[in-house]
A = this chain, B = another copy of it.
Amino acid sequence: MAGDSLATGQRSPGDPAITYPLWPPLTSGCPRTGTAEIAYPVEVDYAYDEVPDDLFRRSHGPSAALDRWAPLLPPLDAPTLGEGGTPLIEIGDGVYLKDESRNPTWSHKDRLNRCTVSAAVRMDAPGVVVASSGNHGASAAAFAARAGLRCTVLTSPDAPPAVRSFVDAYGAVVLPLPQESRWPLMRLIADRLGYHPVSNLTVTHTGHAFGPEGYKTIAYEIFTQIGVPAAVFTPTGYGELLFGVWKGFAELRRLGLAERTPRMYACEPAAGAPLAAALRQGSPAAVVPVGPTSAYGIACSVGGYRGLVAIRESGGEALPVSDEEMAAAQAELARQGVWAELSAAAGLAGLRRRGAVDGPVVCVSTSSGFKDLAVGSHRAEPVEPTWEAVSRRLRAARITA
């Protein structure tokens, strides 16, 4: 263990003068700056001047997981599953792949959920609730099970069956619901059952304030692996991963350990691409229609403010990539012995679209190719999108006792 959390509170990334205590986590974003159209997220602040000098040099156990970075994370009250500590694999010409399929539920989401489920434990919640058709739900279910909490996953009726088998395996209650009903019902489950929400509760994206803190550890690890790269390309949906990785490097600069941050490239499915739209419009977040795409893990109609911060502050770009470009990147990775989910290959697809970058480049590969499999044998019964139907389903699962 690296010691206790140095987290001091929550603040608005847009206006550092606006601060809140650390508890409770503001799962609906910043109450002072949010409007009906745009929600602004909050982020966690730390006593940076108390960070141990040797935090980034000290040796650590082989199962150190996120605990290695405890001073720069919110309190880690949920037990670990050995998340993080993933390898960086050189794939030629100074390009490295950060293979996040090597996490406990085989995606980057485990870094986020160690932090958000820890918040649920600290808040003494009986369970967690998450809206997700993919990796986020499975990861939340695993960390909730490990912590002895209930988990309810609001998913889409057409979510990939492989992922659904996976969520079921951890004993979560899966509620397949139409997209537009998921967030209002999630708020009801949070309000009426006291479940802690570990994903978004707002119109434009804010997410859980503690989530990107977990993603910061990707930057910390890259720093100990190869130093500061010239650029990082991440698969991008809401932009939480993008923001988290950028924040990690920004903290390294703030701590005097790095001279600069890498340029951050948001690799979004061209079928939607809300960050590219927000940059074009000059708005803090955009809502866009989403066309057909197989990159279900990152196909988002709403963006968030945090992703824009990372792109603007780092001198990066939003790079929409087509399904064909992602498939080509996926095939390129397979020839290197790495089988990635289609969405996970968006980072490399973005690099190939942009062309060569001078200096070492890291592409984050978020998840395993297994996630895309069309199992076909595990279709969950859809649930009517009303509180009555949802609470009936929860009672059947003995959730509300």
A residues apposed to B, CB below 8 Å = 59, 61-63, 65, 80-82, 85-89, 99, 101-106, 142-146, 162, 165-166, 169-171, 221, 224-225, 334-339, 368-370, 373-377
Give the number of times this chain occurs in the complex, counting copies: 2
Least CB separation from A224: chain B residue: B62
Contact B89 A143 (CB under 8 A): no
Given A339-B169, A373-B162; A87-B88 close (CB under 8 Å): no
Complex: A80 Cα to B338 Cα, angstroms: 11
Contact A374 B373 (CB under 8 A): no
Of B85, B87, B102, B146, the residue contacting A336 (CB under 8 A) is B146
Given A80-B89, A87-B63, A106-B368; A170-B224 close (CB under 8 Å): no
Contact B81 A337 (CB under 8 A): yes
Contact B376 A106 (CB under 8 A): no
Can you list 17 residue pairs at the A/B interface with Cβ under 8 Å?
A62-B88, A62-B225, A63-B87, A63-B225, A82-B87, A85-B85, A101-B106, A104-B338, A142-B338, A145-B337, A166-B370, A169-B334, A169-B339, A373-B373, A374-B375, A375-B375, A375-B376
Of B63, B81, B225, the residue contacting A338 (CB under 8 A) is B81
Least CB separation from A167: chain B residue: B339
Of B65, B80, B145, B369, the residue contacting A335 (CB under 8 A) is B145
A22 → chain B, closest Cβ, in Å? Answer: 25
Given A80-B89, A82-B88, A162-B373; A170-B337 close (CB under 8 Å): yes
Interfacial chain B residues near A166, Cβ < 8 Å: 339, 369-370
Contact B104 A99 (CB under 8 A): yes
Of B59, B102, B144, B145, the residue contacting A102 (CB under 8 A) is B102
Interfacial chain B residues near A82, Cβ < 8 Å: 86-89, 99, 102
Complex: A106 Cα to B171 Cα, angstroms: 22
Complex: A145 Cα to B333 Cα, angstroms: 10
Interfacial chain B residues near A165, Cβ < 8 Å: 369, 373
Interfacial chain B residues near A170, Cβ < 8 Å: 334-335, 337, 339
Interfacial chain B residues near A370, Cβ < 8 Å: 106, 162, 166, 368, 370, 373
Interfacial chain B residues near A65, Cβ < 8 Å: 87
Contact A89 B102 (CB under 8 A): no
What 16 new A-B contacts, CB under 8 Å, besides A85-B85, A142-B339? A61-B225, A81-B87, A82-B88, A82-B89, A104-B337, A106-B368, A142-B338, A145-B334, A166-B339, A169-B339, A170-B337, A171-B334, A368-B370, A374-B377, A375-B375, A376-B377
Least CB separation from A57: chain B residue: B59
